[in-house]
Amino acid sequence: MLSISLGLPELKVIKQELHSYGYAIHVEKTATREHCPHCGFAPSSVHDRRTRKAQDLAIFHQPVYLFVKVKRYRCSNCSQVFSASLESIQPNQHYTNRFGEYLYELCEGSAIQEVSRKHRIPYTTLERIYYSIASKKAKERQTAIEASSQEEMVLSLDEIAVKKGHQYETVWMDAKAGSVMGMHADRQCDSAIHLLSQNVLSKERVQTVILDMWEPYHKAVRALFPSASIVIDKYHVVQKVTQALDQARKEFPPLKKARYLLLKGCEKLHKDQRLRLDDILEEYPVLSIAYYLKELFRDFYRTDGYHEAKERLEEWIQLAKQSPFASFQEAANTLERWKEPILSYFLCPYTNARIEGTNHKIKNIKRRAYGYRNRERFRLRVFLECTGNTTGS
């Protein structure tokens, strides 16, 4: 039989056997001195001996089981009976610590059911192992976050649909570190206040908050961080204008297939596409007003300074209000209402790009498990998989 090191210094191999179910390795603890966990005295007599069975890492795809001979002592001071402690196997645990870590790593980025089927481990057993380790790692990671010395924090707040029927989760992210810091049910003001008050360590550290134009989030941020600068994500602002152009296009039924040409940036069009676009705008001169309003607004975000950007935005709002399209008039009113947080982008050039990309990852976590009935476990998964090593020193 092949002889290899067990890799557990506290255990000494007595014998090893190969059975149909795998390798059976009989071991015992090398150190013999034990102290009573109740009173701290060293016991004077061995009460009895028992054998514990624990699964360990496989060898050549063969399961390995450790049969540990454990001494039980009777304390001479308090008469309590206790077992010898093991560093590699926790009390009432039927697997080694390293085997539990191995299973945890397998479940990261995969469904528990898939790992259970491949390694022939009962689903409930693997689920219990994974979430017991995941809870400990989440606490360790949270402690690391609290210990990190970051002077200024930039928050990013967004919602993600987790179930049909407009059921949402509010996601809070550290935009600088790129890590999800917490989630909470629905996307109302009270939920956002609860989420941020539970997780934000110091309100003075929050200098910038990136949001879309969802009013309940703005109310929550203004209530908790009155001195913070609110920045509206530019993607959502540009989206309002492009949607206005799309609504204007729908007023011309023959242009059903011209949506791509009109919405795409002018500089990204090929030569043939530009020629076709010129023909469309020449044939529909009224629509050309909407198209140039869209392109004019895209130039607004290429402005260098705050004051010039303010002048351009105010000019665009007036032109949009005078346009013959109701969709642009509505977009102008919306942008006028959110003018200050839109212009804050030119003072704090942050966007929600990171959280939008993370939302896609969160959706993949949900799809991978075909949904979660236990929402707390879903949030735990997201916290562990979407925080990663971003909390390092």
pTM of the model: 0.79
What pLDDT is recorded for position 124?
94
Within 10 Å of residue 271's Cβ, how many Cβ atoms?
Answer: 7
What pLDDT is recorded for position 289?
94
- Assess contact for 383 and 141: CB atoms under 8 A: yes
Q: What is the mean pLDDT of residues 238-264?
A: 92
Query: For 359-392, how does the pLDDT look when each residue is reduced to its tens digit (9 = 90+)?
Result: 999 999 999 888 888 999 999 999 999 886 544 4
Confidence tier at 149 by pLDDT (50, 70, 90): low
Query: For 3-29, how does the pLDDT look when each residue is reduced to its tens digit (9 = 90+)?
Result: 667 888 889 899 989 898 899 999 998
- For 86-211, where are the E strands, in sequence order? 153-163, 167-174, 179-185, 206-211
The secondary structure of residue 187, as a DSSP letter, is: S
Residue 242 DSSP SS3: helix
Q: Locate 342 and state its tokens.
A: 């839109």
Which one has a higher pLDDT value, 3 or 250? 250
What pLDDT is recorded for position 44?
66
Q: In percent, how much of the chain has pLDDT > 90?
A: 55
Query: Would you give the distance in Å from CA 368 to the centre of its chain?
Result: 14
Residue found by looking up tokens 């050309």 in the block: 288
SS3 content of the chain, % helix, strand, coil (to 5): 50, 20, 30
pLDDT of residue 92 exceeding 60, the answer is: yes
What count of residues does the chain have? 393
144-148, 181-185, 233-237, 323-327: the lowest-pLDDT one: 144-148
As a whole number of angstroms, the distance between CA 190 and CA 66 comes to 52
How do 81-83 and 62-74 pair as beta strands? Answer: antiparallel
Alpha-carbon torsion angle 214, 315, 326, 246, nearest 10: -70
Residue found by looking up tokens 């665009």 in the block: 316
Q: Locate 224 and state its tokens.
A: 């908790």
Which one has a higher pLDDT value, 306 or 166? 306
Query: For 270-290, how does the pLDDT look when each residue is reduced to its tens digit (9 = 90+)?
Result: 999 999 999 999 999 999 999
Residue 102 DSSP SS3: helix
Residue 267 DSSP SS3: helix
- Amino acid making up residue 81: V
